[in-house]
Structure 1
């Protein structure tokens, strides 16, 4: 949906852009509009089919192509750049501020600049809602996130140090970036992992280090054309080879549904619920459950419940030994 709306806004602004820049070349126009020459040609072919009711000769937007230059010859009334209404501007401001808190999705400086310009144009800055002003204390983008964005933007390969929470391990990989995607309030780098020989999603806040390499990003074309695969985050379509745990979650731990891929199975009158969660290893899942104390209990599978029980008993024994030693 985001890609479609982004293209729509670009298409609406392209006609007045070409009207203001007659005889501009494909290369120059593509650079100004932030797209490839191929995407620009696709956009022009789309615009050719748009226009006024009747949709016949003289009704549709038209261009003249001379050599490598482009000139609009009929605008169909789209003579001015798109203007935001007040509600639309408010929506854009809210979205930009939200994106500032999501690492890697946007350039923070560019986002702050856009916020300031929109507030200035709409007269929002300095009014009663002081919270609407740009927060100069907003989190600074990490070097790793900045490197990821640079690699995606410039089509360069990337060397990363990545922490896998499911395996509790740090790994080094060389990847070919494809795009940055937003899944469940977290930003992920979608890339072709050369060591795994497949497309992987890397959560940006778990990329410990990233270095842009002096070589092009060359993911296989089918991987790029397929679009992002977020099935891992959907319990209904997750890898069937991975185990799923059934958990009893106390009301006090209900906040975990905002941060972990859980699916509610049943709700109980006391506010607790039964939930399902897919995981990669029993050891990681046991540590995950133990971190919530008595607020989360394992119902199935039994081997996981037993591992949690043994781990908790071992921790208590170690605590008792440590307490007795300190009292001697």
Structure 2
């Protein structure tokens, strides 16, 4: 058998210990689990999982006699891609939740409950009740946690979409696209409703874009259930949101911005390829942009807090957008236009 390289992996040794203590009960409850499936469940690579198994191989009860070690069939791991663990029944039960873990889980479940419909509440209520009872012995204050979801979307929109999902029907949406400031009409085959970063989204196959799209529910002004079955094509796959909503692509063009401290949140909120802190405390960021119109609207929103450096044609487009906006303001407010124009022309974001 080949030698197994043992590395702690992401998070270091402390995180690896936590992972191993959760991994062992899982493997005992799922004998013969495939390496790829277990790695996916624990959000680690197959290489790291094999390394973790190599560490388990050298763990056991005090005394460290031959019968005290955990047995891991590494030949089956390497040859068949399956995991068999034995002589580890002393760790068969999962670890108890800490107060912080229980609190985080309760908040997440209660948020899902408040934002879901009757069907979701019927499923979640027993789970929340069991977790609350289990958490009483950890921290008596957990039962005081309350969650209120202030949903900006129309509850009728959510209910209609839930109905369409349950019936497997296509929907017609009136949807506002913010970076184009345009209301669009499109037919969508719903795939799922999900929550991300505090908002509720419909994910589905958009026939207009011929691709999977996310639609934020508070931007849906109207939805109609069509008398056609929802039939996403085989290539339609739910997006992996584990790394956030905004995902760049190497096919997108690159833009460079300089951000004042007031606009530094952009570097944290959007995926940037490079972030450089300048001597004056500002940031220079490089990011990929799927649609230049989005960046133009962002630059106008940031005002003097941002300046588009590259590409030059995009910087010129932002400058022209500012000029057009000031011209429109001058038309509606001639008395105050001069002062506003003087200030705006000096904005670093508009140069």
> Normalising by structure 2, what TM-score?
0.55
C-alpha distance in structure 2 between counterparts of 1:111 and 1:270, whole Å: 51
Q: What's the Cα RMSD here?
A: 4.5
CA shift, 1:259, in A, is 4.2
Aligned residue for 1:133? 145
Q: Deviations over 1:298-323 (max 9, x none)?
A: 00111121122233234445545655
Q: Distance in 2 between matches of 1:184 and 1:149?
A: 20
Q: Distance in 2 between matches of 1:101 and 1:284?
A: 32
- 2:310 is the counterpart of 1:297: no
Q: Tell me whether 1:207 sits opposite 2:217 in the alignment.
A: no
Q: Which residue of the other structure, out of 162, 174, 188, is the alignment partner of 2:175?
A: 162
Distance 1:97 1:252 in 2: 34
Give the drift of 1:248. Answer: 0.7
Change beyond 3 A, Cα 1:261–1:97: farther
Which string of whole-angstrom CA distances, capped at 9 and with x for unpartnered residues, describes residues 69-94 of structure 1? xxxxxxxxx9x9x9964555334214
Written as runs of structure 1 = structure 2, the 5 A alignment for 1:63-212 is 85-87=97-99, 89-97=102-110, 99=112, 107=120, 111=124, 114-115=127-128, 118-123=131-136, 127-128=140-141, 132-135=144-147, 137-140=148-151, 142-180=155-193, 187-212=200-225
SS where residue 292 of structure 1 aligns?
A: helix
Contact 1:167 1:281 in 2 (8 A): no
Gaps in structure 2 of 5+ consecutive residues: 1-21, 31-81, 338-351
Q: How many residues align?
A: 252
TM-fit CA distance, 1:276: 2.9
Aligned 8 A contact 2:98 2:138 in 1:
no
Given the two structures, how large is their TM-score scaled by the length of structure 1?
A: 0.58
Q: Deviations over 1:264-320 (max 9, x none)?
A: 432224432112344455444323211111101100111121122233234445545
Structure 1 unaligned spans of 5+: 14-48, 55-77
Q: 1:247 pairs with 257, 260, 270, which one?
A: 257
Shift of 1:186: 5.2
1:91–1:202 distance in 2 versus 1, CA, 3 Å:
same
- Any idea what the Cα deviations from partners look like across 1:237-279, whole Å, max 9, x if unmatched? 25x2x44321111111122345445444322244321123444
Match of 2:235 among 222, 227, 234: 222
Q: Which residue of 2 is the match for residue 307 of structure 1?
A: 317
Distance 1:260 1:203 in 2: 17
Distance 1:203 1:317 in 2: 32
The 1:325/1:128 distance shift into structure 2, 3 A limit, reads same
Task: Specify the SS of the correspondent of 2:235.
Answer: helix
Pick which of 310-319 and 157-166 moved more.
310-319
SS in 1 for 2:190: strand
- Tell me if structure 2 keeps the 8 A contact 1:157–1:217: yes
**Residues 101, 139 of structure 1: 8 Å contact kept:** no
